[in-house]
């Protein structure tokens, strides 16, 4: 059973040498793919050094420029599907997602199709967040729940695990969102396809070093795209086959 943890990076030179070993410590089944957008701080070179230090367990995908979170994950998914990984994970590089939660997500996804590290279910939460940021995150999920009718508590979550069969069946080229909205679109696509989704409580901690990629424009993009999907149909035209929530 092989697992690939995809980490998109842009200027994460300080975080990457710490986060990668912590991921690998969670078990021999875990490997890492760093998708770097030509970071000017030299993150790509750091990733290559880690790949040399951990041959066969750390991989690097270099991109020509800053092309965004969504396209980074899509390219990472396609890279994984060309290989034999059974489970594919999304994870941030900045320790806001705790690597110690990876085995819990892996256990959960073995009884579902998608496992989401959720801040807004019982047992989950945030640390070192401002009131404004909590309101934006909770409000974004509630807004999406109401507009799209998706019964998930944390629709903007970016820490999750997929069975490879899920990504094989999704039309990845139809996923067009590239910022905050990318996570919403992936959840909506999985929901519309009837995949079994489980929310696993996690504690989300604000990044230790570096600068947050969140901006008002990213939030507005997500809100506008959700409204568009409600008015004109789901991304990629995915039809709903049913939904089963596991807790």
pLDDT of residue 228: 78
What are the phi and psi torsion angles at 148 (to 5°)? -100, -15
Tell me the CATH number for domain 3-239.
3.90.550.10
* Domain residue spans of the chain: 3-239
> What is the pLDDT at residue 209?
52
What order do you get walking across the sheet with 160-163 strand by strand? 58-62, 30-36, 3-9, 87-90, 160-163, 114-118, 197-201, 245-246
What's the pTM value of the predicted model, to 2 decimals?
Answer: 0.87
CA-to-CA dists, residue 163 to 11, 84, 124, 132, angstroms? 29, 12, 23, 34
Q: What is the model's pLDDT at position 142?
A: 80
The pLDDT, as a whole number, for residue 214 is 52
What pLDDT sits at residue 241?
45
pLDDT of residue 247: 36
Predicted local confidence at residue 229, as pLDDT: 79
Separation of alpha carbons 4 and 99, rounded Å: 13
Per DSSP, the chain holds a count of helices (H) and strands (E) of 8, 10
What pLDDT shows up at residue 217? 60
pLDDT averaged per 10 residues in sequence order, the chain, 247 residues: 94 97 98 98 98 98 93 97 97 95 98 95 84 72 83 92 97 86 91 95 74 57 75 58 40
Give 196's contacts (C-beta < 8 A, 6+ positions apart). Answer: 112, 113, 114, 244, 245, 246
């Amino acid at each position: 059973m092989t697992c690939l943890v995809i980490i998109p990076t842009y200027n994460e030179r300080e975080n990457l040498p710490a986060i990668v070993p912590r991921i690998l410590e969670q078990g021999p089944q875990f490997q890492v793919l760093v998708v770097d957008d030509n970071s000017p701080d030299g993150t790509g070179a750091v990733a290559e050094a880690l790949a040399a230090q951990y041959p066969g367990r750390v991989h690097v995908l270099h991109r020509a420029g800053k092309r965004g979170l969504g396209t980074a994950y899509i390219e990472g998914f396609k890279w994984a599907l060309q290989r034999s990984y059974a489970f594919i994970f999304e994870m941030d590089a900045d320790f806001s997602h705790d690597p110690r939660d990876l085995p819990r997500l892996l256990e959960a996804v073995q009884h579902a199709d998608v496992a989401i590290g959720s801040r807004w279910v019982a047992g989950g939460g945030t640390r070192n967040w401002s009131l404004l940021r909590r309101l934006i995150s909770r409000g974004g999920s509630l807004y999406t729940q109401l507009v799209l009718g998706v019964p998930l508590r944390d629709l903007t979550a970016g820490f999750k695990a997929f069975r490879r069969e899920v990504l094989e069946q999704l039309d990845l080229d139809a996923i067009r969102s590239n910022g905050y909205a990318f996570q919403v679109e992936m959840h909506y696509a999985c929901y519309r396809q009837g995949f079994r989704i489980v929310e696993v409580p996690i504690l989300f901690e604000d990044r230790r070093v570096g600068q947050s990629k969140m901006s008002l424009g990213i939030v507005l993009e997500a809100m506008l795209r959700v409204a568009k999907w409600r008015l004109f149909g789901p991304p990629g035209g995915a039809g709903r086959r049913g939904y089963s929530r596991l807790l």
